[in-house]
Structure 1
Amino acid sequence: MPILSIFFGIIVRMWHDDHPPPHIHVEYQGFEALVQIDTGRILKGKLPKKVASIISEWCETHQSELLENWNRAQRFETLERIQGADRD
């Protein structure tokens, strides 16, 4: 599964041809969650409260890039990296 971004120890991934709604896969220190792109809310799984807040804000900031990647993934195209919340 392609990595879109890594910041503060948080790994953000997206699968090609994944099921709707548009979402990302987030991993952090043994926690895993599916996060909806347009709302930043956890659909499945669990993240520490602070990490969930960081991801929600990050999704809002990078929503257009995430949705562009979602559309690329649906067409099995190469996904673009996205700047992390730590500006790395």
Structure 2
Amino acid sequence: MLRGRIPPRASGIVKEWASLHQAELRAAWDRARRQEAPGKIAPLE
């Protein structure tokens, strides 16, 4: 997020999801940097 605010509860959910999917996020970022589709990452359940 570059600007603005997100409610604390939503922020916590996003942080939890990101911590559970760190490796997938890094792999998606690497693919995007190579001009490839980043792919999908499962939502928080």
Larger Rg: 2
Q: Where in structure 2 are there 5+ consecutive unaligned residues? A: none
Q: How many residues get paired?
A: 45
- 2:35 corresponds to: 76
TM-superposition CA deviations, 1:28-85 (whole Å, max 9, x none): xxxxxx2xxxxxxxx6432111000000010000000001000111111011111101
Match 2:15 to one of 22, 40, 56: 56
Q: What is the CA RMSD across the aligned residues, in angstroms?
A: 1.3
Q: Matched residues, percent identical?
A: 36
Calculate the TM-score normalised by the size of structure 2.
0.86
Calculate the TM-score normalised by the size of structure 1.
0.47
Q: Which has the higher helix share?
A: 2
